[in-house]
Amino acid sequence: MKTIEAISNGRVNLIGEHTDYNDGWVLPTAIPQATRVRLTPREDMMVIGRTALRGGDERYEIGSERARAVWIDYVQGATKILHEEGHPIKGFEIEVASTVPTGSGLSSSAALEVATLKALREAYALKLDDPELARIGQRIENEFVGARVGIMDQMACALARFGEALFLDTKSLEFERIKIPMDELGLIVINSGVVHSNSGGDYNTRRAECEKACAQLGIPSLRHTSIEEVESSRNLGPTEKKRARHVVTENARVHAAVAALKKGDLATLGRLFYESHASMRDDYAVSVQEIDLLVELCREQTGVFGARLTGGGFGGSIVALAEKGRGGAVAREVVARYGAKVSTRATILVSE
């Protein structure tokens, strides 16, 4: 049997957090860290997985998938959905290797889903385009793993490119590729060392709070309201008002960030980063002290345009923009100062 190889890079979301499951807009880009799979079809319905990831080697039979809270769940979710939809798949052996750190807020699970689905598409000649793979990846998270995520991560892992931001409408899935002026700025991504999980209760709670806000406003999603309506509403509870305010203002920041990128206005882009972080910290309540510290340490550095929490929150990573040539020095200084203040060890993932 021919062995298929597939790769999916992780992503960092430049701006547009917790907007995707609210039918909003996002702006991710690809990072060098990636998940690679090697898949060899079998004649039976057994799936044999090998990896150094948490949980180690696993096996199961297609048609008998059962969540185990380990890496193979993302593969199981893929085969369960494809099999139930009537796609002609059989068993296979799959080897998985990844440099996308788990719990970093950089789409380690989506990268695994998309790489697996790409390999299955090639192995069994499945007539599925990249957006359809992304939709299946989202269903894996929602229906099998239990994380009520939007579709940004899977779309980014399937479509994002280096040096470009993917301006994505998560309702229509229409997207535009926006050039990032990499000759003028350095991209910094630092993992705080505080592990986050999209399948945890807090993430799902935020989605439920947004749905409650929509019910109170009488709208299908927070895409369909304005900041004026949110602020003046007498129906919104205090918590729901904060959550809605973040989503509505974050959508506006995504559009403003796209405009700033197109103009090369890096100062405005950086200001939007800081405003986004404050909104996630104060209105959406998804930041933690370690993340706030990293953002403030970035703010203190010369040549930094802006910094913010990236990903679902409750830990994970920050993304920052610095003047070209300053990224490495800034990242090293921030990590050193962070290490002197907290016991958690931060890691530089991208520094230019």
Catalytic sites, residue numbers: 153
- Distances in Å between the alpha carbon of 12 and those of 156, 161, 238, 300? 9, 11, 31, 22
How far apart are alpha carbons 56 and 261 in whole angstroms? 42
Dihedral sign computed on CA atoms, order 106, 11, 132, 21: positive
DSSP 117-181: HHHHHHHTT----HHHHHHHHHHIIIIII-----SHHHHHHHH--TTEEEEEETTT--EEEEE--
List the one residue out of 110, 82, 121, 98 whose CA is nearest residue 13. 110
DSSP 224-261: G--HHHHHH-SSS-HHHHHHHHHHHHHHHHHHHHHHHH
Cα-trace Rg, the chain:
20
